[in-house]
Structure 1
Amino acid sequence: MPLTTAKSEATRELLVSTALRLFRDVGYEKTTMRAIAAEANVSTGSAYYYFASKDDLVHELYRTLQEEHRALALPLLREGRNLGELLKVVLNTGIDVMGPYHDFGSSFISIAIKPSATTSPFGSESAVARARAISLFRHAVAMSRPQPPLAIRNDLPELLWYTYMAVTLFWVYDSSPGQTRTRRLIDQAAPLISKLVILSRLPVVRKIVEDVVQLIHGTRR
Structure 2
Amino acid sequence: MTGTRPRKSERTREQIVSAALRLFREQGYQGTTMRAVAASAGVSVGNAYYYFSSKEELVQGFYDQLVAEQAAGCAEAFAASTDFAERLRATLLAWLAAAEPYQEFAGSFFATAARPGNPLSPFSEASAPAKDAAIALFRELIDGSSTRVGGELAATLPELLWLYQLGVVLYWVHDSSPGTARTRALIDHTVPMVARLVRLSRLPVIRPLSRQAAELVTLLRDQRPG
> TM-score band, normalised by the shorter chain?
0.7 to 0.9
The alignment status of 1:42 with 2:43, answered yes or no, reads: yes
Distance 1:142 1:180 in 2: 30
Displacement after TM superposition at 1:138 (Å)? 0.7
* TM-score normalised by L of structure 1: 0.88
Q: Which runs of 5+ in 2 are unaligned?
A: none
Alignment of 1:1-221 (within 5 A): 8-78=9-79, 81-221=82-222
Instruction: Kindly provide the CA deviation profile for residues 13-57 of structure 1, in whole angstroms up to 9, marking residues without a partner as x.
Output: 332233223334444334321232234443221211221111111
Distance 1:78 1:190 in 2: 19
The aligned length equals 221
Instruction: Kindly provide the CA deviation profile for residues 110-146 of structure 1, in whole angstroms up to 9, marking residues without a partner as x.
Output: 1211112112221122222211111111111112223
Q: Aligned residues: percent identity?
A: 43
Distance 1:110 1:133 in 2: 21
Instruction: Kindly provide the CA deviation profile for residues 66-95 of structure 1, in whole angstroms up to 9, marking residues without a partner as x.
Output: 111112212211476332121111111111
Distance 2:74 2:178 in 1: 23
Distance 1:44 1:85 in 2: 45
Q: Which amino acid aligns with 1:106?
A: G
Q: Which amino acid aligns with 2:195?
A: S
Distance 2:192 2:119 in 1: 34
Displacement after TM superposition at 1:163 (Å)? 0.7
Q: Which amino acid aligns with 1:126?
A: S
Contact 1:24/1:107 (8 A) holds in 2: no
Contact 1:79/1:145 (8 A) holds in 2: no
Distance 1:29 1:96 in 2: 25
Contact 1:80/1:145 (8 A) holds in 2: no
Distance 1:7 1:92 in 2: 31
* TM-score normalised by L of structure 2: 0.86
Contact 1:23/1:104 (8 A) holds in 2: yes
Q: Which amino acid aligns with 2:45?
A: T
Distance 2:91 2:71 in 1: 9
Distance 1:63 1:37 in 2: 20
Q: Which moved more, 1:67-76 or 1:15-24?
A: 15-24
Distance 2:147 2:80 in 1: 10
Q: Which amino acid aligns with 1:136?
A: L
Displacement after TM superposition at 1:192 (Å)? 0.7
Instruction: Kindly provide the CA deviation profile for residues 179-210 of structure 1, in whole angstroms up to 9, marking residues without a partner as x.
Output: 11111111111111111112223445332232
